[in-house]
């Protein structure tokens, strides 16, 4: 194995993501079947797996420069062949935002779930329009798409906290022992702490590349913390004294009728 | 400080400001949640005590009704039977004395039946369909009007609290019908639709204007009582076209 391989794959962030994925994998497959079918457990696992795949794929693109240059050329980017922003944009800014919106949706009451559905549809349409119209090319930084995604996650967090204040099921719980509360809080911090830096990334990268790297560390550290909370969610049935059960909102017909009574 | 340095400070301070804002937001949310939790607990306690009060009232009403019925039975039925028994037992004729003893046996049976109705244990053992059947039979036996009961087999049972409320509400509805509607037919249907149990009380009496009736407290009480067991009360009526009452309960 050459030094480029080590340079690409041996990094504290990537190693942490790999370890967290293994932990998540073990805890997820130790869950009983009915729990594995519950979105409260499989969605965090899906996000964890997805992060593991795209981060390692990102490392591979840094290792295999020819492959990265070919993809860039295919996307029309011959100016910066060493960029792998296309992967970061698709995976981190778009798909992961949608997955987080789906995750938040599982903790909301049925009427608020519908708002999230529309937000996801809106996000998909806007991002594809911005990308294919050339306003924000896929191979360059996408501050508008990031800002829209971050705002949607912030609005979804607002909906979650509103539900926490008004829903009787949430009022009967202790939020500090609810994993959804901690996931939501960390998501809120991640998006708010990286908001300004991500939106002004191009400017900062041109003028202060070292500062960008420092600010990027915040994103990485928050990313690790978020994944840790996701693992806690998957492993939560093993620690019943530590965490409270989530108030799950079913959308089936009979429940709707009962609530209408 | 040059302009680009300024911009850097703006970026760093904005980031810190947003972070601080989010921290304040989350902490505030936790505090508000605690406050609302306490308010909600208070509200729940109030609802619980109201529910218990309603149940107690209903139990009292049923007991009052039962006592009046026992009084009537003692006076009209058992009193008469005892007089007859006394008369026959005092007779010198052995066949009359035997008849007197028969009366005594009948009185014992009647007293046993009455003593059973004095506490509310019968509510637990009786099925709602049975109770409604008995009530309709009683009405029919007065020859005041005809009655009809339709019940699906899978209607299911109710816990004692719910049954008590339903019994009282049904009694009240039937009393109102007999008192005000002057019907030829009273029909009760027990159905299940989309996971909801429905009790329909339909009469072909003279009906009334529901806008006027809503001012009264009787209807309000019935609604409130159904709500205490998680149910719903609805009524529709038109002058000359009878009245339809629906009691809805989640399965």
Q: Which pair of structure tokens corresponds to residue B51?
A: 């529910």
> What's the whole-number average pLDDT of chain B?
86
**Which candidate, B166, B91, B72, B99, places its Cα nearest to that of B127?**
B166
Judged by CB atoms closer than 8 Å, whether chains meet at A171 and B4 is answered as: no
d(CA A135, CA B44): 55
Give the three-state DSSP class for B250.
strand
Task: Give pLDDT, residue A255.
Answer: 38
Give the confidence band of B4 by pLDDT, cuts at 50, 70, 90: low
- Provide the token pair at B152: 């699906």
Residue B3, pLDDT score = 52
Confidence of residue A190 (pLDDT cuts 50, 70, 90): confident
> Contacts of residue B37 in chain A, CB cutoff 8 Å?
171-172
Over range A231-245, report the average pLDDT: 89
Could you read off the pLDDT of B14-66 as tens digits, one per residue?
A: 888 888 998 899 999 999 999 999 998 998 899 888 888 888 888 888 888 88
pLDDT confidence bin for A260, thresholds 50/70/90: very low
DSSP letter assigned to residue A136: S
pLDDT for residue B219: 81
Domain count, chain A: 1
Going from N- to C-terminal start, the domains of chain B cover 1-119, 121-250
Q: How far is the C-alpha of A206 from the C-alpha of A15, rounded, in Å?
A: 29
For residue A109, what is the domain's CATH number? 1.20.1070
B75 touches chain A (CB under 8 A): no
Task: Give how far B12 is from chain A: nearest CA, Å.
Answer: 8
With an 8 Å Cβ cutoff, is B109 touching chain A? no
pLDDT given at position B2: 57
Task: Please tell me the distance in Å from B246's CA to the nearest CA on chain A.
Answer: 13
Considering CB atoms only, which of B8, B21, B36 is closest to A208? B8
**Chain A contact for B25, CB < 8 A?**
yes
| Domain boundaries, position A114 | 3-260
- In this predicted structure, the answer to whether residue A254 has a pLDDT above a threshold of 80 is no
pLDDT tens readout for residues A59-101: 999 898 889 899 989 988 888 888 888 999 999 899 999 999 9
Quick one: closest CA in B to A194, which residue? Answer: B15
A168 at B interface, C-beta within 8 A: yes
Looking at this predicted complex, what is its ipTM? 0.77
Render pLDDT for A108-117 as a digit per residue (tens, 0 to 9).
988 899 999 9
CA separation for the pair A259, A17 (Å, rounded): 42
Model confidence at B100: pLDDT above 80? yes
Q: Where does B121-250 sit in CATH, by number?
A: 3.30.565.10
| Interface check B193 vs A, CB under 8 A | no
Residue B6 C-alpha, separation from nearest chain A C-alpha, in angstroms: 13
Tokens 């107690």 belong to residue: B56
What residues in A contact B250, CB-CB < 8 Å?
257-258, 261
Q: Do B18 and A195 touch (CB under 8 A)?
A: yes
Q: Which residue of B has its CA nearest to A211?
A: B8
Smallest CA–CA distance from B21 into chain A, residue:
A192
Neighbours of A86 (CB within 10 A): 20
Query: Is A188 in contact with B249 (Cβ distance < 8 A)?
Result: no
A172 vs B contacts (CB less than 8 Å)? 37, 40
Each residue's pLDDT tens digit, A148-182? 999 999 999 999 999 998 888 898 889 999 999 99
Residue B118 has pLDDT above 60, yes or no: yes
């Amino acid at each position: 194995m050459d030094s480029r391989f080590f340079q690409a794959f041996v990094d504290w962030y990537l190693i942490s993501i790999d370890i967290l994925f293994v932990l998540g994998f073990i805890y997820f497959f130790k869950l009983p079947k009915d729990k594995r079918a519950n979105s409260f457990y499989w969605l965090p696992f899906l996000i964890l797996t997805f992060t593991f795949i795209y981060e390692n794929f990102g490392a591979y693109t840094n290792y295999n420069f020819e492959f990265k240059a070919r993809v860039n050329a295919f996307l029309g980017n011959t100016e910066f062949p060493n960029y792998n922003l296309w992967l970061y944009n698709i995976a981190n800014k778009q798909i992961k935002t949608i997955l987080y919106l789906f995750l938040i949706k599982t903790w909301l009451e049925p009427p608020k779930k519908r708002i999230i559905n529309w937000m996801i549809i809106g996000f998909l349409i806007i991002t594809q329009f911005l990308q294919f119209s050339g306003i924000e090319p896929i191979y360059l930084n996408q501050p508008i798409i990031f800002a829209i995604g971050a705002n949607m996650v912030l609005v979804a967090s607002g909906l979650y906290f509103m539900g926490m204040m008004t829903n009787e099921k949430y009022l009967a719980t202790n939020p500090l022992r609810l994993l959804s509360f901690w996931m939501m809080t960390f998501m809120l911090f991640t998006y708010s702490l990286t908001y300004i830096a991500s939106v002004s990334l191009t400017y900062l990268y041109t003028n202060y590349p070292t500062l960008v790297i420092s600010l990027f560390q915040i994103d990485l550290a928050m990313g690790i913390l978020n994944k840790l909370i996701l693992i806690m969610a998957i492993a939560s049935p093993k620690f019943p004294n530590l965490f409270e059960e989530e108030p799950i909102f079913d959308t089936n017909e009979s429940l709707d009728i009962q609530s209408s009574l | 400080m040059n302009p680009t340095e300024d911009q850097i400070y703006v970026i760093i301070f904005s980031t810190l400001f947003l972070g601080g804002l989010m921290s304040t937001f989350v902490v505030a949310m936790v505090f508000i949640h605690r406050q609302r939790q306490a308010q909600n607990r208070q509200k729940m306690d109030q609802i619980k005590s109201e529910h218990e009060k309603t149940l107690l009232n209903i139990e009292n009403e049923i007991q009052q009704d039962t006592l009046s019925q026992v009084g009537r039975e003692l006076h009209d039925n058992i009193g008469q039977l005892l007089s007859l028994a006394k008369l026959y037992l005092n007779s010198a004729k052995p066949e009359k004395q035997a008849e007197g003893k028969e009366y005594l046996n009948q009185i014992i049976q009647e007293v046993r039946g009455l003593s059973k109705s004095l506490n509310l244990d019968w509510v637990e053992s009786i099925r709602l369909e049975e109770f409604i059947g008995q009530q309709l039979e009683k009405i029919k036996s007065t020859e005041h009007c005809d009655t009809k009961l339709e019940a699906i087999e899978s209607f299911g049972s109710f816990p004692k609290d719910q049954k008590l409320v339903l019994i009282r509400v049904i009694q009240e509805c039937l009393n109102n019908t007999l008192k005000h509607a002057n019907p030829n037919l009273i029909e009760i249907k027990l159905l299940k639709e989309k996971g909801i149990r429905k009790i329909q009380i339909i009469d072909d009496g003279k009906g009334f204007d529901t806008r006027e009736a809503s001012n009264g407290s009787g209807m309000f009480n019935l609604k409130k009582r159904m709500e205490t067991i998680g149910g719903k009360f609805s009524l529709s009526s038109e002058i000359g076209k009878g009245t339809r009452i629906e009691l809805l309960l989640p399965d």
